[in-house]
Chain A
Amino acid sequence: MAFESLGEKLQGVFKKLKGQGKISEKDLKTALREVRVALLEADVNYKVVKDFINNVNERALGQEVLESLTPGQQVIKIVNDELTKLMGGFQSKLEISSKPPTIIMMVGLQGSGKTTSAGKLGRLLKKQGRRPLLVACDIYRPAAIKQLQVLGEQLDIPVFSMGNKTSPVDIARAAINHAAYHGNDIVILDTAGRLHIDEALMEELSLIKKQVNPIEILLVVDAMTGQDAVNVAEKFNELLDLTGVVLTKLDGDTRGGAALSVKAVTGKPVKFVGMGEKLDALEPFHPDRMASRILGMGDVLTLIEKAQENFDAKKSQELQQKLLKAEFTLEDFLTQMQQMKNMGPLDQIMDMLPGMNKAKLKGLQLDEKEFVRFQAIIQSMTKDERKNPQKINGSRRKRIAAGSGTRVQDVNRLLKQFEQAQKMMKQISGMTTGKGKKGKFKLPFM
């Protein structure tokens, strides 16, 4: 992961600095060059990076090197602080009108994920006890209306549509009346994707805004967007005066520098992030965590939260005891896998762990089907085998494979993964049962 290289590079830069009282201009320059490359690799806009580096430079120059921190960490800390600050500092919530209905308008380029985000947002608000109405204002893309209708059906949320012959402005207006009549307190307008330089279509958004005066106008931005994010955000903001941003497809491996670019040029906060294709995968945005992600530092906070939510504390402690005594068995492995699964898709969890790089994790990638297979394999073992996996020789492997309806290769793979899991569990249980002390979890740059 990029963080490791950044962390290591910075460490290298500052190694010779040990024992000195202050960060020198020259060393800082070398260090900031590495930060610059890291940010550019994360797709933060060039100009934004430039301003940012200047700010950090000013702040860091001549600063005392704190005793407890190495200079490398000190710079990372300043960079992280500045990034978090730039990204809004704190979490920004959705505005709800005091006089219903609350009108939310989703806008953005084609393929950024407006319709899916509209559905997810509807679900979130419905769960909070509100009565949302989804409105199909995309009359251009083939089957866009149908897509929203299918989502509405899945979520049990009404969808208002007037086909693809009526102008979106009229649809929006009619939808507000419909909402008033049917007691919907939230109206989510799903507009067509459009290019920010398409004047005719941009004008249409402007007219919808004038017509229904939405309290929230959310720009939906693909987290994988490159340098162009600033142009897009600038244009949409200029015309519509956005209220916020939804950052989608953040469940991939993109570092998401677009988040920073968009915030920097519009000043508008990211309010939600899309974390997957499932309809519950819309999460509030945490600027500090995003800062770490852009720098490639992993999202330890989210991981800890998820771990605390989902790990049975007692079971974890038992497991840790076993780990310490090296008694971690295949049965425990099964329990642990179950708990990990409760935390969410495994690849996401792995991404959050700093220092976990993809290559190292190759053998650990599990999908849900794999999990079922592993369960069958473990259950086909004798109790003795589960406790002492080293006993499982060739003929036992054959028997286990036959018994679980799998192949010997699958059994081998499981045993290999078990071995790796033993190593990893040591890290995770050390972290979750550190009695609130985060210090136990060693960040790779320390």
Chain B
Amino acid sequence: MGFFSKLKESLKTSLGGEKLSDSLTKTRKGFIDKIFDVFSGKKIDEELFEELEEVLIQGDVGVNTAIDLVEILRERVKSEKIKEAEQLRQVIVEEIINIMGEETSALNLTPGELNIILIVGVNGVGKTTSIGKLAYKLKSEGKRVMLGAGDTFRAAAIDQLKVWGQRVGVDVISHKEGADPAAVVYDAIQAANARKIDVLIIDTAGRLHTKVNLMEELKKIRRIIDKEASGALKEVLLVLDATTGQNALAQANTFGQAAGVTGVILTKLDGTAKGGVVIGIKAEQNLPVKLVGVGEKMEDLQVFRPQDFVAALFTEVEDEEYAG
């Protein structure tokens, strides 16, 4: 058992991790089944490596990352004289955890002062919903939270944020649709200071990372924040949809440059998508996943635990018969 039972243990005991592991396990069934098919009772041969590569690619890990991972496995099989396929499974878990890191990446917030979190991403990834959930999470932790409706572009985006504000019970600072988002940010900062807010979360309009002028607008928003509340911007979180494929790499790259992204919120993990692209994002750009969205309810936003993520990828909780 060893490593796997340890993973499983961490999966079960980690507080609040239950929902994540539940949904991850549920959604990854296909993925897991394939892993099991690959490993069960087989000798290590070239075909096995190819199948493994296939499984990784199907999890949106990306063709290059998959090839790299399999290459590492090949080398380790050679140097460590691994014979049984079962052992290989352990090795690949280790390697992915190696990339993702063992620790969770907590939000970098300082008590007793204004903290600003800027939320960015392409259209339709779930920025506004994630903000609602994040506000709920932080408020439950006893923080004074405020929202800034910086998406002045999409029809009814402001109303959507206001509904979340009401649900959670936090103030929302907004202008009219079509207003300058930088002005909204300015007002929100003033209001947050006046009302002694702990965390101000700023929504932005969804924008494709290829639109240069919209990315410039993001830079402007950042400049306003730096000017009006120097040092308060603690997190710039990029929201990524788990169903997104390799384009997520380009998104992480461009948003990273324009907005100085500090971490990722991975949404829609309650579907069948694997979100494997975050492995590539971590490997190439060292951007940690901080939070994951696992449903539509207020409480469905959780801290991302790399151990759980990988454990849920490779273990099947309902099936106690697995070997480790």
Residues of A within 8 A of B (CB): 37, 40-43, 45-46, 109-113, 140-144, 146-151, 154, 195-197, 222, 224-229, 231-232, 249, 251-255, 257-258, 277, 347, 351, 365, 367-369
Are A226 and B243 interface neighbours, CB within 8 A? yes
At the interface, yes or no: B227 with Cβ under 8 Å from chain A?
Answer: no
Are B124 and A252 interface neighbours, CB within 8 A? no
Are B124 and A249 interface neighbours, CB within 8 A? yes
Hey, which chain A residues are within 8 Å of B164, CB to CB?
A: 142
Complex formed: what's the CA distance from A369 to B216 in Å?
11
Partner of A142 from the list B58, B163, B245 (CB cut-off 8 Å) is B163
Are B210 and A225 interface neighbours, CB within 8 A? no
Are A195 and B270 interface neighbours, CB within 8 A? yes
Number of chain B residues close to chain A: CB under 8 A: 49
Q: Which residue of B lies closest to A36 (CB)?
A: B63
Question: Within residues 41 to 71 of chain B, which ones have a CB less than 8 A from any CB in chain A?
Answer: 54, 57-60, 62-64
Complex formed: what's the CA distance from A142 to B160 in Å?
5
Q: Determine how close the nearest CB of chain A comes to the CB of B127; give it in whole angstroms.
A: 9
Hey, which chain A residues are within 8 Å of B81, CB to CB?
A: none
At the interface, yes or no: B125 with Cβ under 8 Å from chain A?
Answer: yes
Partner of A40 from the list B57, B154, B274 (CB cut-off 8 Å) is B57
Hey, which chain A residues are within 8 Å of B113, CB to CB?
A: none
Q: Determine how close the nearest CB of chain A comes to the CB of B9; give it in whole angstroms.
A: 28
> A41-B63, A249-B124, A367-B212 known; A46 and B241 CB under 8 Å?
no
At the interface, yes or no: B271 with Cβ under 8 Å from chain A?
Answer: yes
Question: Within residues 113 to 166 of chain B, which ones have a CB less than 8 A from any CB in chain A?
Answer: 122-126, 153-157, 159-160, 162-164
Are B246 and A226 interface neighbours, CB within 8 A? yes
Hey, which chain B residues are within 8 Å of A37, CB to CB?
A: 63
Partner of B126 from the list A111, A143, A146, A252 (CB cut-off 8 Å) is A111
Hey, which chain B residues are within 8 Å of A151, CB to CB?
A: 155
Question: Within residues 77 to 127 of chain B, which ones have a CB less than 8 A from any CB in chain A?
Answer: 122-126
Complex formed: what's the CA distance from A141 to B271 in Å?
17
Partner of A222 from the list B64, B241, B277, B296 (CB cut-off 8 Å) is B241
Residues of B within 8 A of A (CB): 27, 30, 54, 57-60, 62-64, 122-126, 153-157, 159-160, 162-164, 177, 208-213, 216, 241, 243-248, 250, 268, 270-274, 277, 296
Q: 24 interchain pairs (CB within 8 A)?
A: A41-B62, A42-B246, A43-B245, A43-B247, A109-B268, A111-B124, A113-B123, A113-B124, A142-B160, A146-B155, A146-B156, A146-B159, A150-B155, A222-B244, A227-B58, A227-B60, A227-B245, A249-B122, A252-B209, A252-B210, A252-B247, A253-B247, A254-B245, A347-B210
Beyond contacts A109-B268, A224-B247: 18 other A-B pairs, Cβ-Cβ < 8 A, are: A41-B63, A43-B247, A109-B271, A142-B160, A146-B155, A146-B159, A147-B156, A151-B155, A225-B244, A227-B57, A229-B243, A231-B273, A249-B123, A252-B122, A252-B210, A254-B250, A277-B153, A368-B213
Q: Determine how close the nearest CB of chain B comes to the CB of A138; give it in whole angstroms.
A: 11
Hey, which chain A residues are within 8 Å of B63, CB to CB?
A: 37, 40-41
Partner of B59 from the list A41, A225, A227, A367 (CB cut-off 8 Å) is A227
Q: Which residue of B lies closest to A274 (CB)?
A: B123
Hey, which chain B residues are within 8 Å of A42, CB to CB?
A: 246
Partner of A43 from the list B54, B157, B246 (CB cut-off 8 Å) is B246
Complex formed: what's the CA distance from A211 to B139 in Å?
43
Are A112 and B124 interface neighbours, CB within 8 A? yes
Complex formed: what's the CA distance from A142 to B211 in Å?
27
Are A226 and B245 interface neighbours, CB within 8 A? yes
Partner of B247 from the list A148, A232, A254, A347 (CB cut-off 8 Å) is A254
Q: Determine how close the nearest CB of chain A comes to the CB of B199; give it in whole angstroms.
A: 21
Hey, which chain A residues are within 8 Å of B58, CB to CB?
A: 45-46, 227
Complex formed: what's the CA distance from A73 to B262 in Å?
44
Q: Which residue of A lies closest to B270 (CB)?
A: A195
Partner of B122 from the list A45, A224, A229, A368 (CB cut-off 8 Å) is A224
Are B272 and A197 interface neighbours, CB within 8 A? yes
Hey, which chain B residues are within 8 Å of A154, CB to CB?
A: 155
Q: Determine how close the nearest CB of chain B comes to the CB of A103; give it in whole angstroms.
A: 23
Q: Determine how close the nearest CB of chain A comes to the CB of B121; give it in whole angstroms.
A: 10
Interchain residue pairs A-B with the least CB separation, the first 3? A226-B245, A111-B124, A43-B245
